[in-house]
Amino acid sequence: MNSVSPGSIRTPILEKAARGDNGTDADVEAAYKRFGEAHPLGRIGEPEEVAELIAFLCSSKAGFCTGADYKIDGGLTAGIGVK
């Protein structure tokens, strides 16, 4: 069995975090830019990127991949030393 651990991905949950207490007045894209700057890749991820990883893990091409957690977080946890 494998698991996938996404980081900051452009989803409704991340949008809610980006809006914070500002609600509809929040500049969501500016918040995404700030969030992205914390990642070594310099941006947040897209849902399609996570979906592509999951599709690969479900395919026969990943037949020898097992028992692992795949972090898809733009290098964020590696950059801050989290294991």
Ordered per-residue pLDDT tens for the chain, 83 residues: 999 999 999 999 999 999 998 888 899 999 999 999 999 999 999 999 999 999 999 999 999 999 999 999 999 988 776 66
Q: Report which of 50, 57, 53, 55 is spatially closest to residue 1, judged by C-alpha positions.
A: 57
- pTM for the model: 0.85
Q: Report which of 44, 40, 45 is spatially closest to residue 76, judged by C-alpha positions.
A: 40
pLDDT score, position 79: 75
Specify the 3-state DSSP secondary structure of 45: strand
**Token pair for 54:** 């999951």
What domain range includes position 15?
3-80
Cα gap 49→72, rounded to integer Å: 8
Number of domains making up the chain:
1
Cα gap 42→65, rounded to integer Å: 28
**Helices 12-19 and 28-37, packing angle to 10 deg:** 100
